[in-house]
Structure formats: C-alpha cells, structure tokens
Amino acid sequence: MDKDLLQFQQCQDQDPRDRIAHHSVTFSGVDGYGGHFMKERHKSQQYQLRAFSLLTNSHFIQGHKTHYNPTDIRAQDQAYLAVVPKAFDFGSHALAAAIKKVGALFCYQDGSKQQGTFAPPAVPSQVNYSRVVQWLEYCRSHHANRCTSEQPVLAGLKLLDCSSFLVIAAPILFRYVALSYVWGGSKGGSCNGVTIFTGGAKVLRSCLPNVVLDAIQVTKALGLRYLWVDKLCIDQDNPTLKHDQISQMDKIYRGAEVTIIAAAGEDDNYGLPGVGKRRRRAQPVAKIGNIRLVSSMAHPHHTITSSRWWTRAWTYQEAVLSQRRLVFTEDQTYFECNRMNCSESFQGDLDVFHVTARSLFWGVHHPGIFSGEEGTSNLSSRLRYFDLASQYTAKELSFEEDSLKAFAGIMRHLRSSWYPICQVWGVPYEHNGYKSIRRGLLWCHKQHCWSTLAKPHRRSDFPSWSWAGWAGEIDFMVSDWFSVGSNSASVFLEVEVGCLVELNYLPLNSAEDAFQFSYPLALHLDAWALPSSMLKVQDPERPSACTIAGFDATLSLSQGPGDPKIVSKMLCEGKWELLWLLTQSSAAYFLVIENHTDFACRVGTVDAKIPPWPCHLLRHSPLGKRRKVCLK
C-alpha cells in the first residue's frame, strides 16, 4: 500500500489533475472506497485508483438528459478519482455504482484554493444553516409557481410554538415547519403515562424525543416559530379529532414552509445528526505529501434510500406531499423542492444549474427522488399515480389495516389536480374515463407466489382485485395511454347490495360524494372468459413462462401453490379462469380468478403477446364464453 502511494507522490511537480490522469494506484485489498466491490468479485481482484473527467463521466450531475454538451452548464471541467476494478469496463455501470455508494475523491494541492463548480466543500460537523437558508430563499424567489401554494384551510390545526413550548391553535397568517420521522423510540403521545397533547398547556422538554428537540432547534435557526409534529399536535386519545387531522394530512404537509425529514437512525430518539447531541459521520479526507484528497461522500439519494425512514409507508406519503424537504442524513443535509435539489457536499452555483428563467434545474442534474413531475396532462397524471402507487407498495406498514390510510393523502392530492385521478379501493380511474379503470386493475406483483424472496400475502380487509388487498411491491402492466384498446370487459360497482353503478355516473362535485363510492362492496365484470386449461406452462420449473393458443404469455400469480410444478396441474384441473380484461396493440391482458360459490377472487394476471387478428378469432372461439363475475 505504502509503495503504491509513493508511486503517486513521485509526480508532485505536476499539476494534480495531470498526474492522476496518467498514473493509477493498484490495491490488492481495499476497505472503504473499494470495499463494496469485494462483495461482488473474488477477493483476489485488484483495484485501481483512476482519474476521470467530471463533465464527460458525470455520475454526480447527469440526470434524465443523457446526451448534453458540457458547455451547456457553463462549468470548468475537473478530474476526480474513483476506485474501480483493475479490469474496469468503461461501458459498465460500475463507476456510477461506486460513486453513488461511497463517493469519489477530489485532489487539491496544499495552499491552493478549493475551486470548481463541483468541488466538494468541507462539510462541517454541525449543520451549515446559512447554506440551508440560501436554498430556501432561492426556492422562494424563483420557484414560486411550482413550490408555493396558497395557505390551505386546515380545520382544527394545532402547532407547537417553539419559543413558548405551548401547543396552540394555528394563528392567522402563519408559516410552519412539519416533521417527518420514524416512531418507535418513545411511547406515542405520552410521557410517563401523561398525555403530551395538552391543547394550550406547556410541553415538558423531558417528554420530548430527541428528534423533536432537534427539529425545534432547526425551526428557530431557519427564522420560523411554529412546528407541526403528529405526536404533539394530534390528540392521540380522541379518535374523532385524530381522524379529522389524519384526513387532512395531505394539506398539512403540502402547506408547510419546509418539511424536516429525519432519515437517520431507527427511531425518534436518534435525533438529527449535526444538530444536537448526535454527531455526523465524518467526511473522509486524506493527505499524500502536499496533496489533499477530499471525498464527495456517498450520494445523498443512496444514503436516504438506505435509511429506516425510507422503508416506511407513512413517511413516504409525507415526503411526496411536501413541497420543500430538508433531509438530515448521517453525514450531511439534503434539500429538495419541486424544481431543484442540492446538498452540503455540493457547492455548485445554483444559477449555473438552472435554466435562464431560474424556474427549474437543467436536465443534466440528478432528478429529485420525492417530487417527480406534477400532472400537467391526462397522461402524466395517470402515470404519476402508477409510479407513486408502485413505490408505495414497496414500503412497510406496522398495521395491515393502514394499507390505504397511509396512501389516502396522495390519492386526495391527485384527485384535486388539474386532471383529476379518482380511485376505487386504490385502483385509479379517470373521471368519465370508463375504460381507464381496466388499466388500473392490471397490476402484478414483482415477487410471485412461488418466489424464494418476500411473497405477496392477502390483506383480508381489502378486495382481492385492489393492490391494497395484498402486501407486496407491484408494477402496473399497461402504461401506453395513447392507444385506447378495445372494450374487452365492462365494469360496474356494487355500491349497495344489488345496486350496480357505472363509473361514469359517479359524482365529482365534492370530495364527500366521491369518497362514499370509493369503497364499494364488490366489483362486477361482464367479460369474455377462457378456461385456464388454454394456458400452457412451458417449463414446470418456471411457470411464469407460458402460452395461450400457442402465443407467448407471462403468468403472474399473487396467490397459488408454493411449488411451481403444481401450477400446470391446477391450470388443467380448471381451478382458475381467465377473464379477458383488455386488448391493446398486439397484447391481450387477463385476470386470473378463482371461483367460489357466489363470487370470485383475483389471484393473478396474464399478459399474452397475441396479434390483432388471432386475438379477434380467439375472443369469438367456442372455447370461451361471456361471463358476469362478482369480484371481491
């Protein structure tokens, strides 16, 4: 190791960037920066410390705009170092993975000024509040139309006054900070058996978990006075008031000036690193002679998505609904609004990364991980719902009955957007878009019932045809909304016993009217049905690969036998039935249902690659029949 570093030092008379461009340091075993490669390759694999051009190998800044001219961002190029395998393939994603997980090294001579658009600054052990205020002010000044909305009407809202430690009714013309964190370290809503929520009485500091104490300090440092914390501002012992406040959670987080996110630690006693007692993980810095190596540290997105906070369903909703987010990780703070994102380890000029009007970041910068793009068209609104629901289903819930509650704020927000997206038990549809709910019904689990990983399982309080009725991450199968597809099935809601209603007749004029129909007793389908025996499994070991009438198809089962070899037998015995839900382009989509005495349950889906003409013949085949099915 010392010999290798000496080789690097021998070129000190050159400019640092010239030296590292022509010399590499080879390691036979590396911890830290190269350590994650050891898990994927043999331990005898050698590693190199190699130099890369920042603008042409940019995994710090490159976002959805993959082809761009480096001069677009008006920044001077500079070199950085990264540890890569000796047999490094420039066409692979190894470089991006390395930088994302552990960061890269930037090289400076002693006495030289640290410069460059992307040069990582020294991240202090405590939060740099002046940087945070700069981010907030920039957003307020230039993103007003996309990151600021009118103060919502929040009935019965309580706030913690950070100056007096009183929980008070929200005053007129107020600005407040919201807190998003993981419960668990302290008993929710109480201190030694005494309720924290006092509706005007002083809150004892000794009753507060560290994350709240630190959030109070941050709120005051940002020049604000009021803080919203669910444990303090919702009466946990009053079910009616608690329900009322939870039902306006979308407005609470959307109306906050900024949301503090505690993406560090396992619970609320961990605190916010860099604020109170909790110290930050130190930024790696090394010296080789008169050369300083400064780490950019792991990308904040990697740190956030590796946190306990990221895994929770309730906190996911809180972040998505917020318009500005200040995230505290183990090593730095990260800011993301609806138009930009930055961190303490990034000192780039905000003007450089914005378009001329300063209304949003260039496409060359990493997109945010929370905000996404608001629905500015029918298409984007639907796809936004699909994306949010898919990500949400990967999150954890402490209580199965919260399957829709923890997503209700997002549903209400999208329903009030420019192009409203409504829902039935979480299944999206466009109002007066009779056909669109069939696409919403076409979802499948990423891990199937025969998977060796986390298998889906039923949530009995919800219908089988809704993703909310299952625990497990999903994908939506149909995303091409430009091609309408044929009417393979008709859909009706049973809003009362024996009373069927078409979606077209559901009201949209008030939230109360719409939500009373959002949870019908059952879904009734009038669809063409094929016997499951028409589905032929090609390989008993891989039942997902199958055929229908000789055409390739993919079977996705949420519920079924644990042994994949039994799937073929169950298909032949007619245990299931295929409901033809939708035909689009050269694909046919089916629900796999299991029939009971007077109803049926969804157990999976089939995606078949059938051209239009054979599809037409198959639909009118004597093997099939028109069926009216009550799905529960």
* pLDDT of 405: 92
Higher pLDDT, 12 or 422: 422
Q: What backbone phi and psi angles, to 5 degrees, belong to 43?
A: -65, -20
Pair (89, 238) in one structural domain: no
267-282 tens-digit pLDDT: 999 999 999 999 999 9
Q: How many CA atoms lie within 13 A of 542 on its CB side?
A: 7
Query: With 50 as the cut, is the pLDDT of residue 16 above it?
Result: no
Residue-wise pLDDT for 47-61, tens only, equals 777 888 776 666 555
State the pLDDT at residue 99. 79
Cα distances (angstroms) measured from residue 493 to each of 70, 400, 444, 502, 527: 55, 24, 22, 6, 14
Q: Is the pLDDT of residue 18 over 50?
A: no
Least Cα distance to 68 among 357, 355, 358, 371 occurs for 355
Question: What contacts 602, CB < 8 A, 6 or more positions away?
Answer: 464, 465, 558, 591, 592, 593, 631
Cα torsion 425, 430, 432, 433 to 10°: value is -100
Q: Which domain holds residue 217?
A: 129-281+299-353
- Two tokens at 156? 């019965």
Structural domains counted in the chain: 3
Average the pLDDT over each of 43-47, 345-349, 377-381, 441-445 and give the range with the smallest value: 43-47
pLDDT value at residue 151:
73
| Residues 335 and 186 reside in one and the same domain | yes
Q: Can you tell me the mean pLDDT for 617-622?
A: 73
What is the reported pLDDT for 562? 73
Counting residues of the chain whose pLDDT is more than 90, the rounded percentage is 35
Pairing of strands 258-262, 176-180: parallel
pLDDT digits (tens, 9 = 90+) for 336-359: 998 888 889 876 667 666 555 554
In 232-353, the DSSP E strands lie at: 258-262, 285-288, 291-295, 324-328, 333-337, 341-343
Which uninterrupted H or E stretch holds 516?
helix 511-516
pLDDT of residue 623 exceeding 60: yes
| 421 domain-assigned | no
* Residues 186 and 100 reside in one and the same domain: no
Q: Which amino acid is at 208?
A: L
pLDDT of residue 313: 96
Q: Is the pLDDT of residue 329 over 90?
A: yes
Is residue 600 pLDDT above 70, yes or no? yes
Residue 579: which pLDDT band, with cuts at 50, 70 and 90?
A: very high
Percent of the chain residues past pLDDT 70, beyond the cut: 75
Looking at the fold, whether 311 and 174 belong to one and the same domain comes out as: yes
> Residue 20 has which token pair?
């590292």
d(CA 557, CA 450) in angstroms, rounded, equals 8
Number of continuous H segments (helices) and E segments (strands) in the chain: 19, 32
Domain end (from 353, 381, 396): 353
Which residue reads 């700069």 in tokens? 134
The verdict on residue 114 lying in a domain is no
Q: Which two tokens stand for residue 377?
A: 């068209």
Name the residue with higher pLDDT: 362 or 368.
Answer: 368
Residue 232 within any structural domain of the chain: yes
- Quote the tokens at residue 541: 């070991």
Check whether residue 96 and residue 138 sit in a common domain. Answer: no
Do 584 and 476 lie in one domain? The reply is yes
Q: Which comes out higher in pLDDT, residue 520 or 435?
A: 520
Q: Flag whether pLDDT at 388 surpasses 80.
A: yes
Does 478 share its domain with 604? yes
Q: Are residues 492 and 551 in the same domain?
A: yes
Residue 338 lies in a domain: yes
Q: Is residue 150 included in any domain, yes or no?
A: yes
Distance (Å, whole) CA 342 – CA 340: 7
Q: What are the φ and ψ backbone dihedral angles of 64, each rounded to 5 degrees?
A: -75, -15
Mean pLDDT (the chain, rounded): 79
CA–CA separation, 451 and 434 (whole Å): 35
Query: Tens of pLDDT along 498-547?
Result: 888 887 666 655 444 445 557 888 999 999 888 888 888 888 778 888 99
pLDDT at position 225, please? Answer: 96
378 in any annotated domain:
no
Lowest-pLDDT range of 1-5, 168-172, 455-459: 1-5
**The pLDDT of residue 34 is above 50:** no
Comparing 108-112, 268-272, 407-411, 460-464, the range with the smallest average pLDDT is 108-112
Global pTM value: 0.86
Q: What confidence score (pLDDT) does residue 142 get?
A: 85
Q: Tell me if 193 is assigned to some domain.
A: yes
Q: Is residue 408 part of a domain?
A: no
Give the pLDDT confidence score for residue 443 in this predicted structure.
Answer: 97
In a shared domain, residues 145 and 96: no
Helix, strand and coil percent figures for the chain, each rounded to 5: 30, 25, 45
Q: Do residues 72 and 133 both lie within one domain?
A: no
Per-residue pLDDT at 556? 94
Q: What is the pLDDT of residue 625?
A: 84
**Is the distance from CB of 393 to CB of 342 less than 8 angstroms?**
no
Q: What token pair was written down for 238?
A: 């009053």
pLDDT tens digits, one per residue of 100-136: 888 888 888 776 665 566 667 889 999 999 999 999 9
Residue 169 shares a structural domain with residue 303 = yes
- Listed residue (353, 342, 344) closest to 295, CA to CA: 344
How many Cβ atoms are within 10 Å of 72's Cβ, its own excluded?
13
Domain co-membership, 26 together with 133:
no
